[in-house]
Structures are given as C-alpha cells and as structure tokens.
Structure 1
C-alpha cells in the first residue's frame, strides 16, 4: 500500500468518533454459529469494532490492519470494554502476515483482495469458521474493489457453506472448514 493510502486511512480513522463493538455483517442473525472460545483473526480490522465484539464473546483475538490510527482506536475500544486484543500493524497489499497459526474464526469485513483468499483459508483451524463480507457488483455498479458474481463461493470451494448472499452491492460468505 502506498504511504498516501495509509495516511488516508489514518486520517479517516482519526476523524471518526468512538465506535461500538459490532458483529461482522455476515454473522448478524447467525451469531449461534460462532464458538464461545478459541482463537479469532480479524483481517483489515479498521477501528476494531468486530475484533472487540469477538473478544467480548470470549475469543482470543488477533486484529490486523495497515492503519496505526485505526489500531489505536481499536485498542481504546478494547480498553473501554475491558477485553484484550492483540493488535498487529501490517500492509496486506504486501501479503498476509504468516505466523503458521490456525484460528477457530477468521473474519474479513469490507476488505477485498482475491490474492489473499488462499491465505484466509489456510489460516482456518479444522472446524474453523470463515466470515467474509465484501463489496459486490451484484445489485450495484462494477469496479476494481467489487467482487464479481460467485467470487466468494468459487474462492472458498470445498468449505461447507453455512450462509451466502449477493445483492445490493454486497456479498457475504459464512463457511466452515471440515474438522
């Protein structure tokens, strides 16, 4: 990611008000699918709303983002809710930070890079839950940041699909790796 992109995200996160913990979009109405313990990875976590929500549900969370301002906001949100999250600054455009860890839950909300799809899958522990939401061409105009129809189900073929939807400019997938 160019330095100007990082600066743009930092400015956006700095200007935003205090956030609230929120479930990932694709899990709203499906929170029963989430384990009550284990490890979770929040990829492109932004200001940490999902990471803190996961930690509040009893998961040990690692949250990754390029923006130091976003990570600082997330750390403040975690402190306000008395939960721990490990915050990792990483430029996902340079690749997925590999530590060979496996996670019971992997969330990627509103960040789309098809080159990272294999790494998201590889980060799942057996029985792990993948939760992805991206912008989509379906029901909206196309563009370089929007998934084509069927992109998520094709990218994560072989996982058990628990929920999938495309429409109104958004696509989501909730899927499980076999145990």
Structure 2
C-alpha cells in the first residue's frame, strides 16, 4: 500500500467519531449468526478498523489479534479494548496486508469485514484450525457498483469452496460468507472420496 493510501485511511478514521463501548458488536451482516461464533479460542481480525468486532469476540472469551494498515484505527482499537475491559484478550498491530498475512498460530475464527484480497485466500484457509470459522464480507457488484474492490457474484463461495458453507449472501453492495474448515482439515471433495 502506498503512503498516500495509508494517509487516506488515517484521515478516514480521524474524521469519524471514535467508537465507544456501546459500539462493541458483531458486524450487522453476521449478527443473526452470533451463536455460531465460539466463546473460547483464538481469533484473527483482518482490516480490524477501530476494533469493535475484535472487542466483541474478546468479550465472548476469545483471544483476538487484529491488524489494520491505519495507525489511527489501531490506536482506537487499543483504547476501545481497554475501555470495554477486553484489553488483556486483544492485541492490535499496524500491518499492511498487501505484504501478505502476518505469520501466526492457527486460529478458531478469521474475521474479515469489508475487505478482500484474493492473494490472501489460501493463507486464510490455512490459518484456520480444523473446524475453524471464516466470517468474511466484501463490497459486491450485486446491488452495488462495479469497481476495483467490488467482488463479482459468487466470488466468495468460489474462493473458499474448500470450506463448508454455514451461510452466505449477496445484495445491497455487500457479499458475505460464513464457512468452516472441516473438523479433519480436509477439503469437502476429499471427504466425499473424490
């Protein structure tokens, strides 16, 4: 990512009000499936922004590692975790995901809200523990405008076809997917003997 892009994200977060404890929540697109998210284990929040989702996961009992390219977002995420009482279960770092997925242990949840870089797809799948949950959303051409960051119809389910779909949807300019890695870690076709 260029310095101009980083500055643009910093300005974007600076121009928005900082989140408060009342903002700690699972993203609306995944809220109907809150009971699918584990209450223990490790989570990775990619492009975590100011940390509302990470703090929600931590409040459920997970240990969360969040990454974002914006220093402003990371500072706000740390403050939100402190204010919400989840600082001991949250770790936030500035990272440019254009450089790849930062190394780390397998996780029980990967959350990626309104961000998608196809170059990370394989690394995301490999980072999930057997039985781990992927919750990803992205801008979509379905009900939205085409653009360099908007995915085409069916792109998420195709990209993560080796995972077991829990739920998925597209519309109003957003595509989303909840999917699990098999408990054995095998791809669905391998489990069917194909």
Above 0.5 in TM-score? yes
What's the RMSD between the two structures over aligned residues?
1.0
* 1:36 equivalent in alignment to 2:39: yes
In the alignment, what sits opposite 1:97? 102
SS of equivalent residue, structure 2 residue 153: coil
Shift of 1:26: 3.5
For 1:1-179, what aligned pairs fall within 5 Å after superposition?
A: 1-19=1-19, 20-84=23-87, 85-99=90-104, 101-179=105-183
Gaps of 5+ in 1: none
Stretches of 4+ aligned residues off by more than 4 angstroms: none
For each residue in 1:54-90, what CA deviation from the matched residue of structure 2 results, as whole angstroms up to 9, or x when unmatched?
1111100000111111000001111111112111211
In 1, Cα distance between the equivalents of 2:180 and 2:28?
Answer: 17
- TM-score, normalised via structure 2 length: 0.89
In 1, Cα distance between the equivalents of 2:17 and 2:145?
Answer: 29
- TM-score, normalised via structure 1 length: 0.96
Q: How many residue pairs align between the two structures?
A: 178
Gaps of 5+ in 2: 184-194
Task: Report the CA distance shift for 1:24/1:123 in structure 2 as closer, same or farther (over 3 A).
Answer: farther
Task: Report the CA distance shift for 1:119/1:25 in structure 2 as closer, same or farther (over 3 A).
Answer: farther
Q: Computing the radius of gyration over CA atoms, which structure comes out larger, 1 or 2?
A: 2
Which stretch of the first structure deviates more once superposed, 16-25 or 78-87? 16-25
